[in-house]
Amino acid sequence: MVTAIILICAYLLGSIPSGLWIGKIFFKTDIREHGSGNLGGTNSFRVLGKKAGLIVTALDILKGTAAVLLPLIPYFADTSIHPLILGGIAVFGHMFPIFAGFRGGKAVATSGGVLLGYTWPFFIVLIVGFFIALKLSKMVSFSSMAVAVVGLVYSIVYWIVTGDYALFIVVAILAAFIFYRHRANIKRIREGTEPKVKWI
């Protein structure tokens, strides 16, 4: 019973549609009807503005972190489920949220939150890598996928050094999620039509 409850909690955490709720409550706007139609931070920046975009991104990150930390709750203390599995389920919830008709985000911020909760230096490496890629490419989508590759390399090195193969497996799955959710972006990048940011 405890196992089922913690798995459901991880999914429900991931399913919290930050962008949708903030858009509707404070801006009377459904961001799924504007911009890219995505519920993530990037479209929140585009549709709702910088402040709302930052808040949505932060909340999406924290969803992944909270899922990984669920075993710290006394009720779940004896669970045998690996924290990274809970994080992966939260990411799945972010992509297919029950609270938003199963139309969610692209898994980037919540995946980062999972890694923040599991090993924060990894998260710092990814943040630095993301902004370097963004500075060079001006494309959030490209930077997100580039960081997925960086994450894979880091997790392999981490596995060799620490013996923690679980991190590599989960990062590989999260990277696959990210590339899958960016299929349309990949096509636009190839065609040279992918939107670019101007603030960096």
| 153-190 pLDDT, tens digit each | 999 999 999 999 999 999 999 999 999 999 999 999 99
Contacts of 87 (CB under 8 A, 6+ apart): 10, 64, 67, 68, 113, 114, 115, 117, 118, 170
| 74-123 pLDDT, tens digit each | 999 888 899 999 999 999 999 999 999 998 888 899 999 999 999 999 99
Q: What is the DSSP letter of 103?
A: -
CB of 74 closer than 8 Å to CB of 137? no
| 57-70 pLDDT, tens digit each | 999 999 999 999 99
Burial of 146-173, coded b for 16+ CB within 10 Å and e otherwise, reads bbbebbbebbeebbeeeeeeebbbbbee
Per-residue pLDDT band at 39 (split at 50, 70, 90): confident
Whether pLDDT at 199 is above 80: no
Number of domains comprising the chain: 1
**Gap between the Cα atoms of 132 and 124, Å rounded:** 12
* 171 domain-assigned: yes
Whether pLDDT at 124 is above 90: yes
Furthest CA-CA distance within the chain? 52
pLDDT value for 35: 83
Per-residue pLDDT band at 40 (split at 50, 70, 90): confident
Whether pLDDT at 130 is above 80: yes
pLDDT value for 36: 81
Range of the domain at 88: 2-191
Per-residue pLDDT band at 198 (split at 50, 70, 90): confident
pLDDT value for 37: 80
* 196 domain-assigned: no
* 40 domain-assigned: yes
pLDDT value for 72: 93
pLDDT value for 80: 87
**Gap between the Cα atoms of 200 and 197, Å rounded:** 7
Per-residue pLDDT band at 11 (split at 50, 70, 90): very high
